[in-house]
Structure 1
Amino acid sequence: MIELHYWPTPNGHKITLFLEESGLPYTIKPVNIGKGEQFEPAFLKLSPNNRMPAIVDLEPAGGGEPISVFESGAILQYLAEKTGRFIPKDLRGRTTVMQWVFWQVGGLGPMLGQNHHFNRYAPEKIPYAIDRYMRETHRLYGVLDKRLDGRHFIAGSDYTIADMAAYPWIVPYENQGMTLDDFPHLKRWFEHIRERAATRRAYAIADTIEGRTDLRTDEEARRHLFGR
């Protein structure tokens, strides 16, 4: 059983995508980041960087005490290794998948996150910052589009954790000022993943989580997310 400490953000969606695809049994423990629950001592024991998601594997391979994992990329890798799914077993295939996972966690996510912040949430519109992160978003979309030319998925013919890592960050493309028509290979990939049954189930979970707020108007949430 996996205990998922979760809030419906792109990084949270990565993990529900995997869990719904794999069929691993899991329970959700909501972490309301707009109320500051990511700073509570119990959660910080699992995720010392006060970021969700985090998991606790109550039944780790080989038995023993539960194992907790924080950072979404590390969680995807852990779950892939636990199940033997969505990551190749051969060295070359595994290396390909993991380098694209790291590309997402080191580049795509942080840069698109800054795009969201300066375009939608920053109290002051700073043209330089908006332009910088819009341009970088466009560049990264282009990198992914080129990678997907001639490939069904990021690593090749199989759906892997590289796709699960990247897809949730493309979902809000309109809020990032992007149009998928500019990136035909990415658009084809995006629409294919969106129609997967597990993807639909994963995103339906978000609708069951109470307490979501609009960061553009909720001052308490903005204080917890941007002021600490």
Structure 2
Amino acid sequence: MSLKPIVLYSHATGPNPWKVTAILEELKLPYETKFLQFPEMKQDPFEKLNPNGRVPAIEDPNTGISLWESGAIVEYLVETYDKQNTISFAAGSPEYFQAKQWLHYQMSGQGPYFGQAVWFSVFHQEKIQSAIDRYLNEIRRVSGVLNKELEGKEYLVGGKYSYVDAAFVPWYVAIGARLAGAVDVAKDFPNLNAWLERVKARPAVTKTFQDRAAVIAQH
């Protein structure tokens, strides 16, 4: 039975929706992306779908399930559609829980700090150097954690590429564009940099960020 397209609500530049796109591409799932502007996220009908008024969110007509929060969506997609564990791990295995551990770290330890670094460095009207320094230092701290973990490893969990490797990439792409020169990943975190390049070379991830660049160019 053929699947109906999953509807993904996204934004051109926001990193979190592209995490979901990369997983949809890896799993070769049919999907349709609806790009929203920031005011639309705080209005109906989208706010009825996601009361938090942020993207991403999905509507899956194959199961009738709607979800928001990127990490929850990624877990849903792999647990629903990756039955062969091509980019995930057998339920109940140590790797299954370790992947969740790293996904939660990405959501709590990477995304918020990287986002605040971009906000205070680029968008905040008042230049508050102490805030800029704090969040740039958090980028370095998180990068150091990943760099140490990746010593002698190709991927984060189980010796293979998984959904959790893809989850970290969008925010590194974002800071590469927004904070160029502020953090030198290639120079200071060689294990991390090699891993990022390895993940970005995957066809599904490459396509995801080519699509992102095309959408940004259109906006």
Instruction: Pick the aligned partner of 2:210 from 194, 204, 220.
Output: 204
CA offsets per residue over residues 188-210 of structure 1, 9 Å max, x none?
10111121111121112224437
TM-score (structure 1 length as normaliser) = 0.85
- Which residue does the alignment assign to 2:52? 49
Q: Is the 8 A contact 2:15 2:174 kept in 1?
A: no
1:10 aligns with 2:10: no
- Which residue does the alignment assign to 2:80? 82
CA offsets per residue over residues 138-169 of structure 1, 9 Å max, x none?
10000011111121111132111211211111
The change in CA–CA distance for 1:167 and 1:211 in structure 2 (over 3 A counts) is closer
Q: Is the 8 A contact 2:118 2:175 kept in 1?
A: no
The Cα RMSD (Å) is 1.6
The change in CA–CA distance for 1:132 and 1:212 in structure 2 (over 3 A counts) is farther
What SS does the corresponding residue of 2:59 show, helix, strand or coil?
A: strand
- Distance in 1 (CA, whole Å) between partners of 2:217 and 2:171 is 22
The one-letter code sitting in structure 2 at the alignment partner of 1:209 is V
- Which residue does the alignment assign to 2:30? 25
Q: Give the fraction of aligned pairs with identical amino acids, expressed as a percent.
A: 36
- Distance in 1 (CA, whole Å) between partners of 2:216 and 2:24 is 21
Q: CA deviation at 1:212?
A: 6.8
- Which residue does the alignment assign to 1:122? 124
Q: How many residues are aligned here? A: 206
Instruction: Pick the aligned partner of 1:150 from 143, 149, 152.
Output: 152
Say which is worse superposed, 151-160 or 73-82, in terms of deviation.
Answer: 151-160
Q: CA deviation at 1:48?
A: 1.1
TM-score (structure 2 length as normaliser) = 0.89
Segments of 5+ residues of structure 1 without an aligned counterpart are: 61-65, 214-228
Q: Is the 8 A contact 2:78 2:88 kept in 1?
A: yes
The change in CA–CA distance for 1:128 and 1:137 in structure 2 (over 3 A counts) is same
- Distance in 2 (CA, whole Å) between partners of 1:37 and 1:211 is 20
Segments of 5+ residues of structure 2 without an aligned counterpart are: none
Q: Is the 8 A contact 2:98 2:157 kept in 1?
A: yes
1:96 aligns with 2:101: no
The one-letter code sitting in structure 1 at the alignment partner of 2:18 is H
Q: Is the 8 A contact 2:166 2:205 kept in 1?
A: no
Q: CA deviation at 1:211?
A: 8.6
Q: Is the 8 A contact 1:173 1:179 kept in 2?
A: no
1:131 aligns with 2:136: no
Say which is worse superposed, 16-25 or 164-173, in terms of deviation.
Answer: 164-173
- Distance in 2 (CA, whole Å) between partners of 1:56 and 1:151 is 36
